[in-house]
């Protein structure tokens, strides 16, 4: 069934599925942390229009990155039983339309940053390069998980710069926590394709090191992530409310590693989506509340 034969509502739903819009929950809460840090902790004026523009930038950049990833990986997705039903290999969305969707969202992202401030505009090209470049990395390096983490880690510092127009150390700690957190759970997600990646000469930590060692690397990265959010709490002199959120964050990171074992990967989906979604949302809520007290 071609995309031109479906209703506008169904077509919209197909594109939301293409970009896995529900997974926005991973980075968006940290963008709200960066925004609130700028307004409350650094005493910048609150502006509704900036909040809306920040949200639009998140949506446009992530939509461009995800659709480009699906476009670039369409041949591999068609060969992999786990991904063969994705929109492009299944014929629901054409490759050409996915690429056009990528271009449109990339342009909208850059244009939106122009209306924020000059720092965001000039840095938008760097951010766009990182999030699009990720899709190529699995073709030549097992460190692709870190590149994905780097792309999402731009959300808290990007939101902060959108409000202030300058860099600061505190939001960088949150960006580093996102980088190591995302890289760690992406390794867990990649466990599902260990054998397929090897057969297609694609690179990943599981394909390079095996399941057991890959889980060890993921554990180290998540320890680093917890360390960075703890460092942010110390440097920022945050109160007890923040530390409750930090404790929950650490508990969720630990829980996902209890769910996934080298001999049992049946709960990778729960560990990837549910656990990390709860971790980011709840941690962000406690962090933002703590900033007001």
pLDDT at 2: 43
For the chain, what are the domain ranges?
3-291
pLDDT band for position 272 (cuts 50, 70, 90): confident
DSSP, res 44: P
For residue 251, give the 3-state DSSP assignment. Answer: helix
Tokens at 151, concatenated: 């792309």
pLDDT at 5: 58
pLDDT per residue as tens digits for the range 234-266: 999 999 999 999 999 999 999 999 999 998 888
pTM (predicted TM-score): 0.94
Residue 159's CB is within 10 A of a number of other CB atoms, namely 29
Reference 65, options 28, 123, 109, 32; nearest CA is 109
Reference 178, options 114, 244, 228; nearest CA is 228
What are the beta bridge partners of residue 261?
A: 264
Tokens at 21, concatenated: 């819009």
Residue 253's CB is within 10 A of a number of other CB atoms, namely 23
CA pair distance 40, 46, nearest whole angstrom: 9
DSSP, res 93: S
DSSP, res 261: B
Domain spanning 3-291: which superfamily?
A: UbiA prenyltransferase (1.10.357.140)
């Amino acid at each position: 069934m071609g995309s031109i034969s479906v209703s506008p509502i169904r077509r919209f739903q197909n594109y939301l599925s293409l970009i896995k819009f529900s997974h926005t929950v991973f980075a968006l809460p940290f963008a709200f942390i960066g925004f609130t840090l700028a307004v409350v902790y650094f005493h910048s004026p609150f502006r509704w229009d900036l909040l809306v523009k920040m949200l639009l930038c998140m949506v446009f950049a992530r939509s461009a990155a995800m659709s480009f990833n699906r476009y670039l990986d369409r041949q591999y997705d068609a060969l992999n039983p786990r991904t063969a039903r994705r929109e492009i290999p299944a014929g629901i969305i054409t490759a050409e339309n996915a690429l056009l969707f990528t271009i449109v969202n990339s342009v909208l992202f850059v244009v939106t940053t122009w209306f924020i401030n000059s720092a965001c505009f000039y840095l938008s090209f760097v951010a766009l390069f990182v999030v699009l470049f990720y899709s190529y990395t699995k073709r030549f390096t097992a460190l692709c998980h870190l590149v994905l983490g780097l792309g999402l880690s731009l959300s808290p510092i990007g939101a902060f710069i959108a409000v202030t127009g300058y860099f600061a150390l505190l939001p960088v700690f949150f960006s580093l926590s996102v980088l190591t957190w995302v890289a760690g759970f992406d390794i867990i997600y990649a466990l599902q394709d260990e054998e397929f990646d090897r057969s297609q000469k694609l690179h990943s930590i599981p394909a390079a090191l095996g399941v057991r060692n890959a889980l060890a690397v993921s554990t180290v990265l998540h320890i680093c992530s917890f360390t960075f959010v703890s460092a942010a709490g110390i440097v920022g002199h945050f109160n007890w409310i923040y530390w409750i959120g930090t404790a929950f964050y650490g508990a969720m990171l630990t829980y996902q590693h209890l769910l996934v074992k080298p001999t049992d990967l049946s709960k990778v989906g729960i560990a990837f989506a549910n656990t990390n979604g709860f971790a980011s949302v709840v941690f962000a809520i406690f962090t933002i509340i703590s900033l007001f007290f």
